[in-house]
Amino acid sequence: MADDRPSRTSPGARASKPSGFAELGVPDALCRLLDRRGISEPFPIQRATLPDSLAGRDVLGRGRTGSGKTLAFGLPVLTRLAESRRDRRPGRPRALVLAPTRELAIQIDETIAPLAKALGLRTTTVFGGVGQNPQVDALRNGIDVVVACPGRLEDLISQGHCRLDRIEVCVLDEADHMADLGFLPGVKRLLDRVPEDCQHMLFSATLDKGIDVIVKRYLHDPVTHSVDSEQSPVSTMTHHALHVSTADRLPVLVDLTSAPGRSIVFTRTKHRAKTLTKQLNASGVPAVEMHGNLSQNVRVRNLAAFSEGRAVVLVATDIAARGIHVDDVTLVIHADPPIEHKAYLHRSGRTARAGNEGTVVTIVLEPQRREVAQLMKKAGIEPVVTAVTPAHPLLSELAPGPRLRRNPVEIATALAVPAETRGGRPNSRSGASSSGRRSGQGGHGGRGGQPGRSGQPGRRRSSGQGGGEQRPAGSRSGGSRSGAPRAGSSRPAGRRSSGSRTTR
């Protein structure tokens, strides 16, 4: 490792009442910032990796989505930059975080930006699907941490807007998903551009599909920490397989989603997501869609409607299986069973986050029974299998509470485009410095994986963005600028919380 790497303050030099983070070596300034956000005790992945990452070691962390990985790498990145105090130069960031999707990049930035701002550091996001000018401007003004998707970052480098020769810390988040999307060649090209003595951290649920090649090629004597692997089911998550007839599939879905609480419903295709969203709205259940055919502006708008409670159901394809972190998602429904067991686990991980409870329901038609049984076996899941009709009492147990149906006209009004986004762009600019954004630490499972402050009944803070698609390196997508709106915390009358808030 580099000789000029700053030394870390020992835990013994902390304040008289150190938090769990201080005991791991996190500087006092960051501990105070975390404490003000109600974050005092680290999650397992953070407790396991922070001592080594703060000491400058290369770290390989394995853990499922929602286990708190963002702070696991965000805290050592910010600590390193704050202590080295190197000058900020145009187009030459000091830390790089690579993410597979634009929504995940926004989510990561929203988590670390408030901490960075308090330390005098600047962050920004770089991804495709939006205009590049705000991103170029942010880089030109000088950035400490860039959170990027591989394709757009390579574009900006090829145009001369960015260089990676001053990177001190490089992070790969959700590396296995990058492999699934075919981004590894671009990732390798980017890693070849960072200094050889750069500290590397890689976080992934698995080490298959070429991830081991990345580890062997770029990580130097890495320390491996495995916490909550993707194959280990969450103990607070219950799984049910509901065998239904084709005629009963929609009525069962309507019954489950019209109960109090937020639900995410997954489909296999974009067309199916669009169709099912229309069917739910027509049945009196406020729903919005999330899939690859939507523009970035519409994705942001729909996710905001879901986060704010104007929609109680998000109907999504697998692009949303990663990166969606909205409070109080108590029910995940696989309206169409996924093809791969990894997709099942990623989808299901939208509930039971950060130690909270959640229910996962798979709708199974007669021809799908054998396929779903094999899928569950590979995923390490033993679901409760029940043949149901729309009148079956189990539905009330899975989604308790009175069924709330609304007038479709009222739903359309509630989901109409807000005034501030009319004209084709939201309030905030995507790609500009995010130092003023709200932290993504509230609620049950922000990207940082930390609980929010307790003692505030009736208020929930969403951490913002959900899964989306980022084109592989070499392809460039245009579009208008968009941003990540602050997710609201309002809940429609009669909607219940998922239970008690976690206080750590």
- Give the amino acid at 167: I
Residues 255 and 335 in one domain: yes
Q: Are 22 and 67 in contact (CB under 8 A)?
A: no
What tokens appear for 295 in the block? 């523009």
Residues 123 and 265 in one domain: no
Q: Are 59 and 223 in contact (CB under 8 A)?
A: yes
Residues 270 and 382 in one domain: yes
Rounded-to-integer distance, Cα 289 and Cα 273, Å? 6
Dihedral in degrees, nearest 10, Cα atoms 453, 454, 457, 461: 30
Tokens 């076996």 found at: 377
Work out how many domains the chain is built from and give that number: 2
* Enclosing domain of residue 310: 237-406
CATH no. for residue 188? 3.40.50.300
Full-model pTM: 0.64
Q: Are 73 and 2 in contact (CB under 8 A)?
A: no
Find all residues with CB under 8 Å of 5, minimum gap 6, and list them.
56, 80, 84, 199
Tens of each residue's pLDDT in the chain, 504 residues? 333 333 333 333 333 344 689 899 999 889 999 988 888 888 888 999 999 999 999 999 887 666 688 999 999 999 999 998 889 999 999 999 999 888 789 889 999 999 999 999 999 999 988 899 999 999 999 999 999 999 999 999 999 999 999 999 999 998 888 887 788 899 999 999 999 999 999 998 777 667 888 998 999 999 999 875 444 444 457 899 999 999 999 999 999 999 998 899 999 999 999 999 999 999 999 999 988 788 878 888 898 899 888 999 999 988 765 656 666 788 999 999 988 887 888 788 766 454 456 789 999 999 999 999 999 998 888 999 999 999 999 999 999 999 988 988 889 888 885 544 444 433 333 444 444 333 333 333 333 344 333 333 333 333 333 333 444 444 434 433 333 333 333 334 333 333 333 333
Instruction: Classify residue 151: in a domain, yes or no.
Output: yes
Q: How far apart, in Å, do the first and last CA atoms of the chain sit? A: 35
Residues 396 and 271 in one domain: yes
Phi-psi region of 223 (alpha: psi -120 to 50; beta: other; left: phi over 0): beta
Residues 203 and 245 in one domain: no
| Entry field: residues in the chain | 504
| pLDDT value at residue 205 | 75
Residues 258 and 377 in one domain: yes
The domain boundary, picked from 226, 248, 279, lies at: 226
| pLDDT value at residue 204 | 83
Q: Choose among 316, 331, 319, 492: nearest CA to 399.
A: 331
| pLDDT value at residue 323 | 57
Q: Are 281 and 305 in contact (CB under 8 A)?
A: no
What tokens appear for 466 in the block? 């959900």
Rounded-to-integer distance, Cα 360 and Cα 238, Å? 6
Dmax (CA) of the chain: 69
Residues 211 and 247 in one domain: no
Residues 222 and 241 in one domain: no
Rounded-to-integer distance, Cα 441 and Cα 462, Å? 8
Rounded-to-integer distance, Cα 466 and Cα 460, Å? 17
Instruction: Classify residue 72: in a domain, yes or no.
Output: yes
Residues 337 and 202 in one domain: no
Instruction: Classify residue 341: in a domain, yes or no.
Output: yes
Instruction: Classify residue 412: in a domain, yes or no.
Output: no
The domain boundary, picked from 406, 423, 438, lies at: 406
The domain boundary, picked from 378, 406, 434, lies at: 406
For residue 472, count CB atoms less than 10 angstroms from its CB and return exposed for 0-12, middle for 13-18, buried for 19 or more. middle
Instruction: Classify residue 31: in a domain, yes or no.
Output: no
| pLDDT value at residue 487 | 38
Instruction: Classify residue 485: in a domain, yes or no.
Output: no
Q: How many helices (H) and strands (E) does the chain have?
A: 17, 14
| pLDDT value at residue 130 | 85
Dihedral in degrees, nearest 10, Cα atoms 234, 236, 241, 247: -120
| pLDDT value at residue 466 | 36
Instruction: Classify residue 350: in a domain, yes or no.
Output: yes
Residues 145 and 257 in one domain: no
Residues 368 and 253 in one domain: yes
Residues 291 and 155 in one domain: no
Instruction: Classify residue 493: in a domain, yes or no.
Output: no
Rounded-to-integer distance, Cα 377 and Cα 361, Å? 16
Q: Choose among 247, 200, 243: nearest CA to 224.
A: 200
